[in-house]
Amino acid sequence: MIMQSAAALFRLALGVAVVATLAAVVVGTGASDASTKAMPMTVTSAPFSAPSRCVPTSNVHLFVSPEVPVAGSSFRVLAVTDKPLDAELVVESTSASSDGGSDTSARSNLRHGGPPYFWIAEIPSSREASYTARLVRRQCRGESVASRTVTPSPSQERAPTPANHELWPTTTAWSHDLENVYSAWIETLFDAPEESMPTWPALQDVLRDRKRNLLFDYLGAGEDSVDAPDIRPDCADLPYFLRAYFSFKLRLPFGVSECGRGTANTPPKCTTNIETNEQRPPTYDPKATASQNFGAFLRVTLATRAHSGSARIALDDENSDYYPVALTWESLRPGTIYADPYGHVFVLAKRLPQNAKRAGVLFAVDAQPDGTVARKRFWRGNFLYSDNPALGGPGWKRFRPLSRMGNKLVRWGDDAIRTNADYGDLSGQQARLSTVGFFDAMDDVLAPRPLDPEREAVEIVGALEEQVRTRVDSVDSGRQWLATGPAPAVMPSLEDLFETTGTWEDYSTPSRDLRLLVAMDFVTGFPDEVERRPQRFTMPAGKSATDVKSELGALLERELSSRTISYPRTDGSRFPLSLAAVLGRKVDLEVAYNPNDCAEFRWGAPPGSDERSTCVARASSAQQQRMDQLRIWFHERRRPPRR
């Protein structure tokens, strides 16, 4: 009776919130353009509205890293769930404090993501005692929705050694909980403030950052130390390297298929030959550590098998490493990959929901041939799409899980994914969309509420500026290479222009320039987009879509003229250009990708101008002739099909 009365009083007083002052735990760092300065991880969840009553909640998973914490060292607890709970992650030691109460060791009420939503708390120096980790619902009188006991080991345990016939043992199965952990790990790994454009020299620089990497030294074998093997994927390898790294740490099944690149008329296809973690790769060295063998597997086997065709398998072809997902906010989670029709691959890293000032934002990371990893904003200038079936199946996809069948690992087919309660997110939606329909659907995902057209115009100019600034760095890399006086870079032909190896791939910019041209077209054509889909925008009272279209043209002109970049010329001096000036050189940028040309030419400097006076290098006349012949691809904003 007393308990019932107390519960009734609590319900009457539910509108009164008493919030304690809590210490936020810094769990991530952000990197500015070329640095990795530490900063708090940014909050990405929308504000939470308290429910009218405390509804029972399940589906909360608590994950501890490292796998076996050691007394005297730190450990972190990650809580993940699909629900936007108003909750706090609490980690307490079970020993009594001086006042006889519980010794609260760490708290975090900072909720990230969504979905999955996650919290991270860290014990900086654990004791040789048990800890209890709990996710507590603050508006439900501290109700614990999940708990886990963590007992640090008194000494470092030796990391297990796999059997001689396998790369690493499979002791864990893929599940919805671990997919959520994977998403949280990816988001934390590449987190940065919204306005920044972080870049890293290589993936290993991110993985060796303990504050970023929730799996840092997870196995307790020093596998992420400065002496660990280099991890430097290019664009097609990046999602595979990340998935393999996560699988290696948690001993999950992993596989990579043997796939072709397709022909001029047919999309790429994969064979049934899958290289898995339970096979002994050719690079295996019985005298090496598990970490060394894993690094060799990445550099040789995985880097060779994974290529631009691997992600472009037709969307209805289940004989592939990826499966397509629906275009919804819930499905597009960190770790989802984006395959563009020409072979570039991104990994979704973070989402920011729509707010009063802008549409929702998707950030994804990609890797370049030189190993550089960078975060980019999803928009039409960076993410290309085509409904040409000969190019394969572009769009958003996720890795197919693998599981054991008999004595071998097999990847899941479409029916298995559709009917499994832990997955069920396979969708044929993207296969039914035209190019225009795809981007319309993505616009609806990112902006479920109508947008202010002027604010959106400013946003897309900002996205274009990001892309142009990124090109400044790429062209300057070529300038510095050219200054060393090496032999001219050999120019490939046809589609090899966009995808090859060696010096040309490292310092040329045909793919980047094609994307930039597409981006320029979208910016200048934005007023037409507003007129085509006026329902997506909040039109000023008394004005038609045609009126707004005219005003947007003037606004874009002002924005493009007021924003300026500068690029290093041959002699190192920087030359300023407004974005409007860059757009005015679109025709020149159709043949500006050759690393044998000076930086001035690659930025479209007019002949005889002061800007071009410092230029001392041009591609050979033969290469110039070939660029003129291939200009059609850039002029028509398309690429040749792969052979």
Tell me the pLDDT tens digit for each residue of 524-571. Answer: 999 999 999 999 999 999 999 999 999 999 999 999 999 999 999 999
152 within 8 A of 70, measured Cβ to Cβ: yes
pLDDT band at 103, cuts 50/70/90?
low
pLDDT of residue 496: 80
Residue 22 has pLDDT above 60, yes or no: no
Average pLDDT over residues 244-262: 96
Burial 500-528 (b: 16+ CB within 10 A, else e): beebbbbbbbbbbbbbbbbbbebbbebbe
295 within 8 A of 282, measured Cβ to Cβ: no
pLDDT of residue 174: 98
Give phi and psi for 92, each to the nearest 5.
-125, 145
pLDDT of residue 605: 98
Average pLDDT over residues 343-365: 95
Residue 49 has pLDDT above 50, yes or no: no
Average pLDDT over residues 491-495: 81
CA dihedral sign, ordered 501, 506, 509, 515 = positive
424 within 8 A of 287, measured Cβ to Cβ: no
Residue 2 has pLDDT above 70, yes or no: no
Q: Tell me what the pLDDT averaged over the chain comes to.
A: 88
The 10s digit of each residue's pLDDT in 568-593 is 999 999 999 999 999 999 999 999 99
- Measured CA to CA, the distance from residue 406 to residue 84 in angstroms comes to 40
294 within 8 A of 168, measured Cβ to Cβ: yes
- Measured CA to CA, the distance from residue 454 to residue 538 in angstroms comes to 10
Average pLDDT over residues 286-290: 90
pLDDT band at 393, cuts 50/70/90?
very high
For the chain, the distance separating the N- and C-terminal CA atoms, rounded to the nearest angstrom, is: 78
Strands (E), 25-86: 60-65, 75-81
Give phi and psi for 412, each to the nearest 5.
-75, 140
Give me the CATH code for the 22-46+57-150 domain, please: 2.60.40.1930
Average pLDDT over residues 62-81: 96
Give phi and psi for 630, each to the nearest 5.
-90, 0
- Those residues with Cβ within 8 angstroms of residue 625's Cβ, 6 or more apart along the chain or in another chain: none
Least confident of 138-142, 199-203, 251-255: 138-142
- Those residues with Cβ within 8 angstroms of residue 482's Cβ, 6 or more apart along the chain or in another chain: 595, 596, 598, 617
Residue 32 has pLDDT above 60, yes or no: no
pLDDT band at 494, cuts 50/70/90?
confident
Q: Which amino acid does the sequence have at 596?
A: N
pLDDT of residue 140: 81
**637 burial type by CB count under 10 A (0-12 exposed, 13-18 middle, 19+ buried):** middle
Give phi and psi for 597, each to the nearest 5.
-90, 155
Burial 335-355 (b: 16+ CB within 10 A, else e): bbbbbbbbbbbbbbbbbbebe
Average pLDDT over residues 223-247: 95
- Those residues with Cβ within 8 angstroms of residue 231's Cβ, 6 or more apart along the chain or in another chain: 202, 203, 204, 207, 241, 245, 295, 298
The 10s digit of each residue's pLDDT in 109-144 is 999 998 999 999 999 988 888 999 999 998 787 788
Residue 632 has pLDDT above 70, yes or no: yes
pLDDT of residue 15: 35
- Those residues with Cβ within 8 angstroms of residue 419's Cβ, 6 or more apart along the chain or in another chain: none
Residue 56 has pLDDT above 70, yes or no: no
45 within 8 A of 114, measured Cβ to Cβ: yes
Residue intervals in the chain for CATH 2.60.40.1930: 22-46+57-150
Give the whole-number percent of the chain exceeding pLDDT 90. Answer: 76
pLDDT of residue 158: 64
Residue 184 has pLDDT above 50, yes or no: yes
Question: Model's pTM, two decimal places?
Answer: 0.87
Give phi and psi for 11, each to the nearest 5.
-65, -40
The 10s digit of each residue's pLDDT in 301-325 is 999 999 989 999 999 999 999 999 9
- Measured CA to CA, the distance from residue 539 to residue 222 in angstroms comes to 58
pLDDT of residue 160: 58
